[in-house]
Structure 1
């Protein structure tokens, strides 16, 4: 505690704090414009992507509202995506069960890591399929309301 109080009374400490503060302020002023431009571009890309996705959704809704055969095809796509998601989840659970039951050996660790990666990949695939089926279901529901 005495060292802290001694530092507070030292002019050297105060001068170093002021100099470091000024350097940080100057550095922040130069970096701020770069950060603003990067996030501005990111925001524009995100906005364009969202607008394109909404336009594709509206186009799909119009197509589904106009054609009964497109509705049937979309229902088949929903079912296929959900079935593939279920298969991916089952493969992931089977792989994880197999990993838990295997003894840990230094020669088998690489195989265990590969199978763990496969299980994660299957779960990600299942989530992607479920998301796709959900998007198609939303479009189908919106088309039926029209």
Structure 2
């Protein structure tokens, strides 16, 4: 089957009941999306399907079809980070860093849908992404900065 990830087409064979997360990590060697809970509640495995945040542990790889999969590796580059990635760096959001790829992907999806979110909209959109280090105030500030909001 053909799958497009981060702008590159891949031909891969996999079982029909393989979660997208396993395909990305085990078959394609893309390790940004993390395994956290396996039931879609922590957000560590968040990726984009055609720009919309989804939990890769809950999407069957066979159901991706022609959709473009984007992981943290494909969001920006070292020389040209995505605005959310740059805000994360500027505000030193990450502590342990385990959840951060999922956090960044969720925030980027939010800003695609709502370019100027309120704090309540940020909190609502990010509520499904858990951070055991509790860096939530910095996460909100980084989303605000990426949105170009003053005072972030």
The alignment's TM-score, normalised by the length of structure 1, stands at 0.21
Would you tell me which structure has more strand in proportion to its own residues?
2
The alignment's TM-score, normalised by the length of structure 2, stands at 0.21
Structure with the larger RCO, 1 or 2 (CA within 8 Å, 6+ apart):
1
- Say which one has the larger Rg: 1
